[in-house]
Structure 1
Amino acid sequence: MVTWLRNKLFDLGLLKSVSYNFPVICVGNLSVGGTGKTPMIEYLIRLLKDDFAVATLSRGYKRKTKGFQLANKNSSAASLGDEPFQFYSKFKENILVAVDADRINGIKNLIVQESSIEIVLLDDAFQHRKVKAGFNIMLTTFEKPYFSDIVLPTGDLREPRRGAKRADIIVVTKCPKGLSNSDKDSILKQIKPNKNQHVFFSSISYSDKVFTMESKRNLSELNDFTLVTGIANANPLVEFLKVNKLEFEHLNFKDHHEFSIEDIEALKQKELILTTEKDFMRLKQYAELKDKLFYLPIQVKMDNEATFNKLVLDYMKNDN
């Protein structure tokens, strides 16, 4: 009732949202954790970075700092949070990366830092309605779609299902490869999109190579390793590795796990470690793991990439 009332007050204009005279794209979800926001933000960065001055703004979940932080050469997962630090590590030559739990204050500071910003990507901000994004992309997983879920604490939704109507695009993420048209139609019937809404389906595309800070190897060369994950749902990765007939043990930690001294001591005893790119951002600071720690990159694979890209680029063109 509280979240319903809050959204209603925003809808009626009794609670105010701040709009901006430049494009703002929000990527978020209705549920807690694990829908694929980080790879979607990276997809948008790759789409936009060559033609626009891009900035990302995240909350900076579990960081050790407060207030506004702009990523720089001294930043770390501790100062930014693991996901924003990942954005900075991969795209620092092309974009600005900032964190602030207060999105209005974050955008204000970004503009002060760089007045030529042409697009702000808001990470995990679907419920942050004090900022009125010009374009909303909402994610929901194939395995646990929002229309089959209910609000916390009984279910995993942050707000009622009707919140999906605020989205311009709904992406069903982590779909199995070769999802049939009949399965897609069945999902569409349950989403019941408005006429102005577009629904897409995406899957996870894993690299065939793994990386350390200084080298890379073919994934097929790995065997008898320890898989370390601290993400919301490691099942797709585990299944992918099993399909590739790789032998490994799995140390499965909770999402955004803060690795303790005891954890690192235990990992030092392992001969070879494979982890996710997000976990790598927290683990790469430990020099004793340097030569044995590999990460496996992932990317979003859209089912109708050209149409999705056109919708985003049309918004950029029409909002400028």
Structure 2
Amino acid sequence: MKNLRLLLLPFSLLYWFIVSIRNLFYDIAIFKSYTFNKPIIVIGNLSTGGTGKSPQTEYLIRLLNNVYRVATLSRGYKRKSKGFVLADEKANADILGDEPYQFYKKLQQATIAVDADRKNGIENLLALSSKPQIILLDDAYQHRRVKAGFYILLTAYGDLYADDFVLPAGNLRESRSGAKRANIIIVTKCPSNLSLQEQERIRKKLRLQSGQKVYFSYIAYDDKVYNTTTAVALETLRNTNKIIVAGIAKPQPFFEHVKQDDDVCLTYPDHHYFTETELKELETISRNKIIITTEKDYMRLAGKLPEDRLFYLPIMTTFINEGDNFDKTILDYVGKSTTNR
């Protein structure tokens, strides 16, 4: 792997140069950025994925939904529709993409929309009769055409952007210096007992800008698995032979949480759309066994496998400490913001 990275390093330097010029042109206004008279929060990362954007976005929706009309705008990765789409009762994972559809199914009080052109998407949202009071831009850290008022950057514990390289030698979409645009950095997927000493070590490694704040979070698993009609305690299935399916980035923690010795784990690419052949293979392999998958994968598998045997395990992001301070920072920004400067 190290030798391969060395071979790819010249291509990474070229990629870094192109992306750096693009960012510079936005910074000095050669490329135009658009602002809107609404508080807009971006949730994103420097890496290509696996940092836990979905549970963090869901956390923000829940935090803000009780006080404000919230809209979430995603690009709808791998969806089969085009342009701006507003989620409604006809929506599914093919139309919205799996993550926005997951938000829609769980958080119907919020407005969920998709559009790869975030400027166009925001304009459509603000043209609604019931305009959102705040807009969350999911996975839009590199979308410089819209200038948001607040940026949240995620980086996974054990895979910090400070230790990575830009594509293709590494997994970064832009150089580490892009972190300077963030108001808040969240180190996600930490051990739940991460020590204060380790937190301080990571803070120093990230080389924070003045005013930047770092928070540490971990993934908490529900104690039940679900389908559209049933909830079953995961503990009661521990000793039941299962098929565990994951089409997400970095699925190993999910497997480790669910798996017992005789279980079969099947891994697919992130956001994978299952073919008819793969679905038939899954049915054959599982026979009369329970299938447990991630919530995101369930959005793509529901209705395509026997419902009485297909379950998903929800997750949520939980702050190790200072969660109240994080909430207050977000609520203060939204409450005080009338324009994005």
TM-score (norm: length of structure 1): 0.97
User: Which of 287, 291, 299 is residue 316 of structure 2 equivalent to?
Assistant: 299
Deviations 1:239-289 (A, max 9, x none): 2225xx574210011101110111111222312100000000000032x42
The answer to whether the aligner puts 1:277 opposite 2:295 as a matched pair is yes
| Alignment pair present for 1:229 and 2:220 | no
Q: Cα deviation per residue 1:204-262 (whole Å; 9 max; x = unaligned)?
A: 000000001111000011121000000011011122225xx574210011101110111
Alignment partners' CA distance in 1, 2:81 and 2:317: 30
- The 5-angstrom pairing of residues 111-190 of structure 1 reads 111-190=126-205
Report SS of the residue matched to 2:214: strand
CA contact 2:192–2:217 (8 Å) conserved in 1: no
Kindly provide the CA deviation profile for residues 127-185 of structure 1, in whole angstroms up to 9, marking residues without a partner as x: 00100110000000002100000100100000010000000000000001211111111
The residue aligned with 1:248 is: 263
CA distance in 2, matches of 1:200, 1:115: 33
Report what 1:318 is aligned to: 336
Which of 225, 229, 241 is residue 210 of structure 1 equivalent to?
Answer: 225
- Evaluate the alpha carbon distance shift between residue 247 and residue 114 of structure 1 in structure 2; reply closer, same or farther with a 3 A threshold: farther
CA distance in 1, matches of 2:93, 2:46: 25
Q: Following the alignment from structure 1 to structure 2, what is the Cα–Cα distance between the partners of residues 140 and 234?
A: 16
Counterpart CA distance in 2 for 1:114 and 1:151 is 43
- Give the Cα–Cα distance (whole angstroms) in 1 for the partners of residues 337 and 175 of structure 2: 29
Q: In structure 2, how many angstroms separate the alpha carbons of the residues matched to 1:193 and 1:67?
A: 37
- The equivalent residue for 2:307 is 290
- Residue of 104, 108, 120 corresponding to 1:105: 120
Q: Which amino acid is the alignment partner of residue 307 of structure 1?
A: N
Unaligned runs of 5+ in 2: 1-16
Kept in 1: contact 2:125–2:131 (CA 8 A) = no
Deviations 1:44-103 (A, max 9, x none): 0110001100000000000001100000101110000000000000011x1110000000
1:55 to 1:209, Cα distance in 2 relative to 1, 3 A: same
**1:57-72 correspondence to structure 2 within 5 Å:** 57-72=73-88
1:196 offset after TM fit, Å? 1.2
Partner of 2:58: 42
Q: Mark the CA change 1:246 to 1:205 in structure 2 (over 3 Å): closer, same or farther.
A: farther
Q: Which runs of 4+ in 1 moved over 3 A?
A: none
RMSD: 1.1
- Identity level (%): 48
Structure 2 Cα separation of the partners of residues 81 and 276 of structure 1: 15
- Which residue number corresponds to residue 239 of structure 1? 256
CA distance in 2, matches of 1:114, 1:37: 29
3-state SS of 1:108 partner:
helix
CA distance in 1, matches of 2:91, 2:122: 19
1:97 partner letter: I
Aligned residues: 316
Q: Distance in 1 between matches of 2:202 and 2:306?
A: 44
Alpha-carbon separation, structure 1, partners of 2:140 and 2:244: 31
SS at the partner of 1:310?
helix
Alpha-carbon displacement from aligned partner over 1:14-69 (angstroms, at most 9, x marks no partner): 21111111110000000001110000000001100011000000000000011000
Instruction: Look up the match of 1:198.
Output: 213
